[in-house]
Amino acid sequence: MTDRPLFSDALVHLGRGVQANGRPVNLPISQGSTMLFNSLAEFEAARDARHQHGTLYYGRYGTPASFELEAAMTALEGGAGCVSVSAGLTAVTLALMGAARSGDHLLVADNVYMPTRNFCDNVLARYGVEVTYFDSMQDISPLLQSNTSAVMFEAPGSGTFEVPDIRAISATARAHGALAIIDGTWATPIFCRPLSLGADVVVHSGSKYIGGHADSMIGFIVCNEATYPRMRQMALAFGDKPGSQDVFLSLRGLRTLEMRMKAAESSGLQVARWLAEQPQVLKVLHPAFPECPGHDTWKRDFEGSAGLFSIVVRDCSTDRLHAFVDALDLFGIGVSWGGFESLILPVRPLRTATRWDEAGHLVRLNIGFENPDSLCADLARALPLLD
């Protein structure tokens, strides 16, 4: 597969396995713990190769469908291998555990997904791994230490959407002998393929756009040649695996991923541009907007924008903020994103390496597949409640 795969073909055909005639279009759900062998010799061969992708040995090590899904994600990202895990957060935590040993130091971007920070502060710290948070828009060279084993960041940053320079961070990390691990959930491989920009590992929450229907939880660790064996070994040693129904739903989600991403991009931009004109909106934080920090990097390295962005609304009482959010009919209130439904949530960014001092409330929106004109009309009705 080239650097820019033909997603329209790949998404339809990858990961459906080779079967006999009279086969269903979709691979059936692979439900299985024990796998049976015709002879003890065949069992022993499978046991010896159980850490290898594709070896059917015991359900925890992989099933026909999970192997197909991992191969599809590997091809879409242009990687050497992928391990599927039970959630996006598991992909983050296992990738960090695969990268760091006790006594190591990690550089973690200040604007990562909050549970990633929680894992660093409350779990890794207990195992003797030191973490320094960094401003993802700055040169990391001065922060690298002799024991820095990985740099973890997100493109764009969670909640605030700054777009870091994946190439520069990855190159600096590599020159230092540290791994560049990137959370690529927002862009999906449709809009960005970080391994081709020099990253070593890309993690995804497949619970977002890949599943795409707010009904499954899964994560992926997609690796280059050098990191794949240790990441696979870490995930298998940990005993983690995705549920078989979630594997099925992810394979199904891939079939429409490109179309859904393009629809999310177009509706997202329409709503974001409309919001930018409203008197209650001080700022739109969206990588496709020229004011967004890292917009030029986004233009160079990404092929589109997802339907998730934030706005800063005029400072007001908490009561008014609640009144605005509660008055919306078409926007659900809840965490996560990337499903077919629009969502809204005020968010409070925690920053320790940088400062977040916007003079207003930060509100994150996931634009779903309702008619964008209806979404704007819904917002137009509710925004005056902030005044």
Ligand X SMILES: *Cc1c(COP(=O)(O)O)cnc(C)c1O
Asked whether position 158 contacts ligand X by CB under 6 A, the answer is yes
C-beta of 185 vs 354, nearer to ligand X: 185
| Sites for ligand X among residues 227-286 (CB under 6 A) | none
113 is catalytic: yes
- Applying CB under 6 A, which of residues 219, 253, 368, 372 lies at the interface with ligand X? 219
Catalytic residue flag (residue 208) = yes
User: What's the closest the beta carbon of residue 208 comes to ligand X, in angstroms?
Assistant: 6
The answer to whether 339 contacts ligand X (rule: CB under 6 A) is: no
* Residues between 110 and 129 with contacts to ligand X, criterion CB under 6 A: 113
Q: Which of 185, 227, 278, 366 binds ligand X (CB under 6 A)?
A: 185
Give the active site residue among 4, 60, 299, 381.
Answer: 60
Separation CA 290–CA 123 (nearest Å): 38
Q: Residue 84, interface with ligand X (CB under 6 A)? A: no
Count residues binding ligand X (CB under 6 A).
Answer: 15
DSSP letters spanning 47-115: HHTTTSTT--SBGGG--HHHHHHHHHHHHHHT-SEEEEESSHHHHHHHHHHHH--TT-EEEEETTS-HH
Find out whether 193 and 179 touch, Cβ atoms under 8 Å.
no
Q: What is the DSSP string of 111-169?
A: TS-HHHHHHHHHTGGGGT-EEEEE-TTS--GGG--TTEEEEEEESSPTTT-----HHHH
Q: Taking contact as CB under 6 A, which single stretch among the options 5-13, 51-59, 87-95, 173-181 is the one that binds ligand X? A: 87-95
**Is residue 217 involved in binding ligand X (CB under 6 A)?**
yes
Stretch of 34-42, 204-212, 270-278, 317-325 lying at the interface with ligand X (CB under 6 A): 204-212
Closest alpha carbon to 152 in 233, 95, 104, 207: 95
Catalytic residue among 183, 240, 301, 378: 183
Cβ proximity of 219 and 87 under 8 Å: yes
| Catalytic residue flag (residue 283) | no
Task: Between 92 and 197, name the residue whose CB sits nearer to ligand X.
Answer: 92
Active site residue 60: yes
Gap between the Cα atoms of 9 and 23, Å rounded: 20
The two three-digit tokens of residue 140, written as one number: 């990391």
Is 83 a residue that touches ligand X (CB under 6 A)?
no
Q: Among the options 193, 208, 232, 255, which is catalytic?
A: 208
Comparing CB distances to ligand X, the nearer of 185 and 278 is 185
Q: Show Cβ contacts of residue 340 under 8 Å, excluding neighbours closer than 6 positions.
A: 212, 213, 214, 260, 368, 369
What is the nearest approach in angstroms of ligand X to the Cβ of residue 195?
17
Q: Which amino acid is at 200?
A: D
Q: How far is the CB of 112 from ligand X (least distance, A)?
A: 7
**Residue at shortest CB range from ligand X:** 88
* Binding residue for ligand X, selected from 10, 72, 92, 109, defined by CB under 6 A: 92
Asked if 205 touches ligand X (CB under 6 A), the answer is: yes
DSSP 289: S
CB of 162 to ligand X, least distance (A): 13
The distance of closest approach from Cβ of residue 255 to ligand X in the complex, given in angstroms and rounded to an integer, is 20
Residue 372: CB atoms within 10 Å: 20
Which of 57, 113, 133, 228 is flagged as catalytic? Answer: 113
What sign does the dihedral 168-210-74-109 (CA atoms) show? positive
For residues 87 and 275, which CB has a smaller minimum distance to ligand X in the complex?
87
Within 10 angstroms of residue 24's Cβ, the number of other Cβ atoms is: 8
CA 344, distance to chain mean position in Å, is 19
Query: Mind telling me the catalytic residues?
Result: 60, 113, 183, 208
Q: Under the rule (CB under 6 A), what is the footprint of ligand X? A: 87-89, 92, 113, 154, 158, 183, 185, 205, 207-208, 217, 219, 336
